Structure 1
Amino acid sequence: MLRILSLFMADLHGTSNNNDIVSISTTGSGKSPTFWILLFIPEAVQIVITPLDILRRQNVETLGKVGIQAIMIIAELSTAENFQVRITSAEIEVNGQLRDAVVK
């Protein structure tokens, strides 16, 4: 719990200073709430890069349960618009396609 609180406070501090934030931690360590809290900033948009389909699906499902619209950026859905969170895989970024997927 202390680790999660520490991550959250670091992210919150960075956000309040208008800094970009990168959080890296192991799967299952509880880091998701540290970046989801930032969605309460008006007009915030987040791009979450996850390595596995199951993690993308879990993020979309969990956010939906609290009323936050999210979408996975995959080939068949990459043209969807008006979502606050876009959850994608590292492959899209590695191939240089992340900007194109977000701008569509």
Structure 2
Amino acid sequence: MSEKQGAKLSPIFASSSGCEWSVEISWNGHLSMYLHAESLRPGSLRRAIWRFRLLDTSGEYLLELHEVCGLFCAEEKILLKDYDNILSLSEKGKLIIEDK
């Protein structure tokens, strides 16, 4: 990934309630999570509580962000949360995790 390519969007995935989501990561480490409103019935409201966890290939936690809650309506494409500069990427687009 390079700055010219902009952000990468994950494939759409579904929660247990049937809502559709995606995660977007940009070169500078900016992370956004989206609820796709078209997956909701017209006129419905949805309360979402989520926590972002980054795992390594063995399933061990590398990073966990605090829990967030929000109320959303079906008539908008919804940006749930932006996490500024939460992840670091190398020049070759590899994820950098620093032990804290």
Task: Please report the TM-score for the alignment, with normalisation by the length of structure 1.
Answer: 0.24
- Higher relative helix content: 1
* TM-score, normalised with respect to structure 2: 0.24
RCO (CA 8 Å, sep 6+): is it higher in 1 or 2? 2
Q: Which has the higher strand share?
A: 2
Q: Which has the larger radius of gyration?
A: 2
